[in-house]
Structure 1
Amino acid sequence: MPDPLRFLVAESELPEDREKRRRSAGQSSGESYVETLCSLVPDATCDQVKPAEEDSPRQDAAGIARYDAVFLCGSPLHVYERTPEVERQLDFMREVFRSGTPAFGSCAGLQVATVAAGGTVRSNAHGHEAGFARRIAPTEAGRTHPLLAGRPAAYDAPAIHGDEVEQLPEGATLLAGNAVTAIQAAEIRFDGGVFWGVQYHPELSLREIAQALRRQAETLMEDGLARTPDDVEAQARLIEALHREPERRDLAWRLGLDRQVTEARTRQTELRNFIDRLVRPTRRERRGSGA
């Protein structure tokens, strides 16, 4: 039998944010990512690193190259605030590119890869995109790109973010966007590496989206997406109920969702495509060349 795939999950929550997320969602962003990856590839080996933290061991290109894929989680850090934590994230991502290991990132993961390769990120021009990104449309390039294989001409996806990619780096390919966030999916090639990323969260369950809304209730009210904490709570409860009973058409109707979100397998489309259409072929090429 072939060796199992080896995944490296990079978690960029700082300790305080990590514990806050564990208290509400039951696990950190990295732990959530590992759980989803293990459901997609049960025999995979998943290791975690925390590149933003000062005392975390530095990962270099040679070490990263021992993995078949790298996954970058979401993060409350703002990439345009060039703090030591952010600089360590960017250094890690540059080593990922240099290693030639296929990489995938969601939300802040896309933003980190963008800045590491020379692009820019800003605060959302249209305010928060919270709960779900609506009517995401593939570009002409995205309609034939393997990352979005199986996605229709317009689809929704779990999302919650206050920052967005402003400009992709030179040579990157825009794959999808919507009216709120122009860059929802992209491919970035830089320094010998390939990155596929999305601004939304194919790795998250609906329950985690509900908890994320609760954690950011104050910000959502400031942005005018809710008037009171009760408004946020009502929306979160609907989403949680759909998580428990995804077959309930009445809940999906009230939330304006279809199977692109309600079905876990469809919701995780980009992750499966990345593994099947980039990670596995790259591994075979590396094995064939003796790398």
Structure 2
Amino acid sequence: MNASLHFLMIESESEAARERRRKSVGSSSGESFADTLRGLVPGCRCDLIRPADADGPHPQPDEIGRYDGVFLSGSPLHVYDDRPEVRRQIAFMRAVFASGTPAFGSCAGLQVAVAAAGGTVRPMGARREAGFARRIAPTAAGRDHPLLAGRPPAWDAPAVHTDEVATLPDGAVLLASNAVTQVQAVEIRHDQGVFWGVQYHPELSLREIAAALRRQTPDLIEHGLARDAEAVEVQAGAVDALAHAPDRRDLAWALGLDEQVTDAALRTAELRNFIAHLVRPMRRARGRGD
């Protein structure tokens, strides 16, 4: 039953980043992600921890194995920085792989899993996906992969990132790409674990995307995506308006979006697929029921 599902939510934002986000949208990345999961699986339990923090918990594989699924949120963390918080986060992800617990990550969560399994991540330079990743398309391997079940031949998705996967680790399968970022979706099999991840953000609402654009105003201007703060506000305002009225076809048309983004059930497809096609079958295989 839904009430029996028990998830571990991993957040790697610094305290300062958490507070900036809370002032912007009322919650940190992990808190927001956990709320999305509770909406998808009413009655599920979500424990949120921050293993990147110096005083954060660092559960071992046997403790992680008590959960039905692990989720890693996005964050400003750069996994190529040799910093204590990065090392702690990667070490934790290796424990997740060792536990055999199915894991899902978006954006920086994907990048942490890649690094933990032996791949590499790099900065994107002048390129950006700010607001939405456009025309994502499955690879040959991704067309029949359950992570992308229900997605059309090409789709857009909420996305905010300045880093990307450079090389995939052994045991990884590329599932989707677009013209900006080659690694948009991937499966990684490493140690005892299976990880499904995406570079975009199926967990984010349009309201959160609008707030992210506003927080990134200086960066968007610096990289030529907006001429000034007023231009950013026009774009963010349109996204915000669509968040409040997702059936506004005029707003969707102006932003170049369709129901893959405006419909919350379609926008969260990868999360639903992960729970249906990996979490629940593995839960049954472990003898924990449905």
Partner in structure 1 of residue 8 of structure 2: 8
CA RMSD of aligned residues (A): 1.2
Query: Which one-letter code corresponds to 1:230 in the other structure?
Result: E
SS of 1:144's equivalent in the other structure is: coil
Cα deviations by residue, 1:147-192 (Å, 9 ceiling, x for unpaired): 0000011000000000000011012000000000000000000001
Instruction: Answer yes or no: is 1:127 the counterpart of 2:94.
Output: no
Deviation, 1:17, is: 0.5
**1:195-214 Cα deviation digits (max 9, x unpaired):** 00000000000000000011
**Residue 23 of structure 1 aligns with which residue?**
23
Letter in 2 for 1:16: A
- Please tell me the residue identity of whatever aligns with 2:184: Q
Matches within 5 A, 1:194-273: 194-273=194-273
1:73 aligns to 2:73 (yes or no): yes
Matched residue of 1:173: which SS?
strand
| Structure 2 counterpart SS, 1:174 | strand
Measured against aligned partners, the alpha-carbon deviations of 1:192-238 in whole angstroms (never above 9, x if no partner) come to: 10000000000000000000011111011111111101111110000
Aligned to 1:39: 39
Q: Which moved more, 1:55-64 or 1:146-155?
A: 55-64
Alignment of 1:102-141 (within 5 A): 102-125=102-125, 127-141=127-141
Residue 172 of structure 1 is matched in structure 2 by 172
How far the C-alpha of 1:57 sits from its partner, in A, is 1.7
**Equivalent AA in structure 2 for residue 216 of structure 1:** Q
Aligned twin of 2:48: 48
Mapped contact 2:2–2:42 kept (Cα < 8 A): no
Give the Å deviation of 1:3: 5.8
C-alpha contact 2:3 2:45 (8 A) present in aligned 1:
no
User: Does the 8 Å CA contact 2:126/2:223 hold for their aligned counterparts?
Assistant: no
Q: 1:115 to 1:2 in 2, by over 3 A?
A: closer
For normalisation by structure 2, the TM-score amounts to 0.98
List runs of 5+ in structure 1 lacking aligned partners: none
Q: Distance in 1 between matches of 2:173 and 2:224?
A: 33
Partner Cα separation in structure 2 for residue 2 and residue 198 of structure 1? 24
Describe the superposition over 1:26-54 as per-residue Cα deviations: whole angstroms up to 9, x where unpaired: 10001100110000001100000001100
Give 1:266 deviation, angstroms: 0.1
Task: Please state whether the residue corresponding to 2:4 is helix, strand or coil.
Answer: coil
1:83 paired with 2:87, answer no
Residue matched to 1:282: 282
Shift of 1:128: 1.4
Deviation at 1:25, TM superposition (A): 1.1
Q: Is the 1:188–1:196 contact (alpha carbons within 8 Å) kept by the matching residues of 2? A: yes
* Residue aligned with 1:20, SS: helix
Residue 126 of structure 1: how far off its partner (Å) = 5.3
Percent sequence identity is 65
Q: Is the 8 A contact 2:118 2:169 kept in 1?
A: yes
> Matched residues in 1 for 2:11 and 2:2: separation?
28
Say whether the 8 Å CA contact 2:2–2:41 is kept in structure 1: no
- Matched to 1:47, the amino acid is D
Deviates more, 1:85-94 or 1:279-288: 279-288
The more displaced of 166-175 and 121-130 is 121-130
Q: Which residue of 2 aligns with 1:192?
A: 192
CA distance in 1, matches of 2:2, 2:169: 36
Give the drift of 1:2. Answer: 7.6
Query: Secondary structure of the residue that 2:243 maps to in structure 1?
Result: helix
Q: Is the 8 A contact 1:126 1:180 kept in 2?
A: no
The alignment of Structure 1 onto Structure 2 pairs a total of residues equal to 289
Structure 1 distance, partners of 2:154, 2:128, is 20
Counterpart CA distance in 1 for 2:21 and 2:9 is 17
After superposing the two structures, state which structure 1 stretch, 118-127 or 129-138, moved more. 118-127
Amino acid at match of 1:240: D
Unaligned runs of 5+ in 2: none
CA contact (8 A) 1:120 1:167 kept: yes
